[in-house]
Amino acid sequence: MRVMLKATLDTEKANELLRSGKMAEQVKEILDRLRPEAAYFGPIGGRRTMVLVLHMQDSSEIPPVGEPFFTQMNAEVEMCPVMNAEDLQKGLSATG
């Protein structure tokens, strides 16, 4: 299943990671491990935010996917299933 993950970073912790030079390394490690279909970065609601689209086979993948954001970045994390246009068409054709 395709899942959108939105990680809103804690400003104080993100500032600390930037000052120490570890932010780029942390982000690279996360991206290398998760291998998202897409990754976007920018300020949302005035805070540094990462939006990733990834594939999960099972809900048991939620803890290992989310924990690095919580433990390394003190982030607020949201995950929700999403579809691309092809998925939507397939779903709509099955409804009736």
Q: Tens digits of per-residue pLDDT, 57-86?
A: 999 999 999 999 999 999 999 999 999 999
pLDDT (0 to 100) of residue 95: 82
Angle value at C-alpha 83, between 80 and 85, nearest 5 degrees: 160
Question: pTM for this structure?
Answer: 0.90
CA 20 to chain centre: 23
Q: Which two tokens stand for residue 55?
A: 């594939």
Question: Position of tokens 């600390």?
Answer: 16
Q: What b/e readout covers 38-66, taking b as 16+ CB neighbours within 10 angstroms?
A: ebeeeeeeeebbbbbebebeeeebeeebb
Q: What is the dihedral of CA 31, 81, 60, 90, to 10 degrees?
A: -110
Spatial distance between the Cα atoms of 91 and 81, rounded to a whole number of angstroms: 13
**pLDDT single digits (tens) 23-50:** 999 999 999 999 999 999 999 999 999 9
